Copies of this chain bind each other. A is one copy, B any other.
Amino acid sequence: VCLLDQTKLPLKEKYLECFDYQSIAKAIKEMRIRGAPAIGVAAAFGIALAAQNSTAKTLDEFLVEVREATSVLSRTRPTAVNLFRAINRMINILQTNKNTDVLTLKRLLKKEAEAIAQEEEEMSQRMGEYGATLVRKGANILTHCNAGALATVDLGTALAVIRKAHEQGKKVHVYADETRPLLQGARLTTWELIKEGIPTTLICDNMAGFLMQQGKVDLILVGADRIAANGDVANKIGTYSLAVLAREHQVPFYVVAPTSTIDLAIANGNEIPIEERSATEVTMIAGQRIAPEEVNIYNPAFDITPARYISAIVTDRGIIRPPYTKNLAKILS
């Protein structure tokens, strides 16, 4: 499995070759690959890899090995639901094919990983098409973190919408939040959009409110890591602040996410586990220390945006409007 190492972008386009599931788990943990849909797909391929690599002679030995891989991969990152959904689909293959042989299972697991990737790709296209209907000509779009190709399989989520609108000749302009601490906006979103020739202006996260005050933002598009049954959204830290600012300035705030990101088992945002990451993500930038060693750090990787701040959720099955509890359940049924 070959991954573009996202920690090295935009300075270097370095590919990471993973020959076992452990290196995929490590790549997810270290955010060399990131973005809810992308880590789901990577984990599925990790499990397929564990299966391929297995030298087990019996079905039982094989199942133990593959289950160990699913267990390690599921402990990499807690917030995005796509990871668990992909792993569960792989486990399902094992369960529904209990009476077959190791070789067949190896083939089926590989096929399922490829199917997950393929589906994410198709969902990306459809989200782009639905979402583009919300974008008027000449719109100034603000986005946060990276909800692009790098976070998914094909076009992205929020960036799929931007790509489609651009393709349709809508002449959009994008403001990209740099997205501290790991700067996915500065490093990844700008890199993707420049490659597409989409006019992009990079800002620091704390400038978004001032932009909105000046009427410079027409709509906001963000991705999601998990959407609860009531429409509450977990997404990259800073999303919630943007949503509050959007409402204050009457700027539409759209979440773009495949249906694989919706988790009806979670009633509301309070139940979504929020990952806290290492202090050095905040205190070190590009290998340089930017704060005194003695200081405490609080570094939540995500936050929760309550459903009431969200104008609509753009999915691969259409645009969902409030009331979300009813409409999310309906679209998934």
Instruction: Point out residues on A near B: beta carbons under 8 Å.
Output: 10-11, 175-181, 183, 186-187, 190-191, 194, 199-211, 213, 237-238, 240-241, 244-245, 248, 282-283, 285-292, 294-300, 303-304
Contacts and interface: CB of A to CB of B under 8 A. Distances in A.
A304 B286 CA distance: 32
A203 B292 contact: no
A238 B209 CA distance: 7
Contacts of A204: 180-181, 205, 237-238, 282, 299
Contacts of A208: 241
Nearest to A181: B204
B178 A178 contact: no
Contacts of A206: 177, 179-180, 205-206, 237-238, 241
A295 B200 contact: yes
Nearest to A202: B295
26 contacts: A10-B291, A11-B289, A175-B298, A180-B205, A186-B290, A187-B290, A190-B291, A194-B295, A201-B296, A202-B282, A202-B295, A203-B282, A203-B297, A203-B298, A204-B237, A205-B238, A206-B206, A206-B237, A209-B240, A210-B303, A210-B304, A213-B304, A241-B241, A244-B244, A285-B290, A286-B286
